[in-house]
């Protein structure tokens, strides 16, 4: 049996208790396996209502999803591994350095970027956007590995980074 095909609609709402809210609606476009089984309280395309609302209309809240700030340490390490940034042997030292310099801190078991960390990241993104790109970091790690294995020349690796830095100067 075919998979279900859904369409999500997001509408930015106002604020609720000082928090910014987004209204999300999922509409079933093709029921797929739901032809045989329909979970209770699911809307179909004919029942969709978010797209028909007008600005300022009142809505009744069905569910509230709270997005927690930051990442767990495990989620950050998984993200680093998936992006090719760092090595398992360097993850602990990387997190320690970010904490030591005051770029991240732990709040309620989650790693959160501090004001100082945000300022540094914003500065980097403004002046040298490629330095904040995980793909650049992963490429540089591969170049350093090749250097360590004798497949790349030190001057070539440094020159490639230097040339990118010079090309990005404002």
Provide the residue ranges of all domains of the chain, joining segments of one domain with +: 5-52, 73-168
Assign 40 to helix, strand or coil: coil
How far, in Å, CA of 92 to CA of 99, rounded?
11
Overall residue count recorded for the chain in this entry: 170
Write down the mean pLDDT value for the chain.
78
- The 10 Å CB-count burial string (b at 16+, else e) for 124-153 is eeeebebbeeeebbeebeebeeeeeeeebe
Q: What is the pLDDT of residue 83?
A: 84
Which of the following CATH numbers is that of domain 73-168: 3.40.80.10, 1.10.460.10, 1.20.1260.10, 3.40.50.1110?
Answer: 1.10.460.10
Gyration radius from the chain CA atoms? 23
- This model's pTM is above 0.75: no
Give yes or no for residue 16 having a pLDDT over 60. Answer: no
The 10s digit of each residue's pLDDT in 131-153 is 888 888 889 989 999 999 999 99
Q: What's phi and psi for 27, nearest 5 deg?
A: -120, 130
The percentage of the chain sitting over the pLDDT mark of 70, rounded to a whole number, equals: 61
What is the tens place of the pLDDT at every residue in 73-129? 998 898 888 888 888 888 999 999 999 999 999 998 899 999 999 999 899 889 888
Q: Is 109 helix (H, G, I), strand (E, B) or coil?
A: coil
């Amino acid at each position: 049996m075919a998979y279900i095909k859904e369409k999500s609609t997001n509408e930015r709402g106002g604020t609720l208790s000082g928090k910014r809210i987004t209204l999300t609606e999922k509409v079933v476009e093709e029921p797929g396996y739901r032809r045989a089984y329909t979970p209770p309280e699911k809307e179909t395309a004919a029942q969709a209502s978010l797209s028909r609302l007008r600005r300022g209309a009142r809505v009744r809240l069905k569910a509230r999803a709270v997005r927690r700030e930051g990442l767990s340490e495990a989620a950050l390490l998984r993200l680093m591994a998936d992006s090719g940034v760092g090595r398992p042997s360097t993850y602990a030292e990387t997190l320690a350095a970010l904490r030591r310099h005051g770029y991240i801190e732990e709040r309620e078991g989650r790693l959160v970027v501090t004001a100082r960390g945000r300022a540094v990241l914003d500065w980097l993104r403004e002046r040298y956007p490629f330095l904040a790109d995980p793909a650049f970091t992963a490429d540089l790690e591969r170049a350093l590995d090749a250097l360590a294995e004798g497949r790349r020349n030190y001057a070539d690796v440094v020159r490639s980074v230097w040339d990118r830095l010079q090309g990005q100067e404002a």
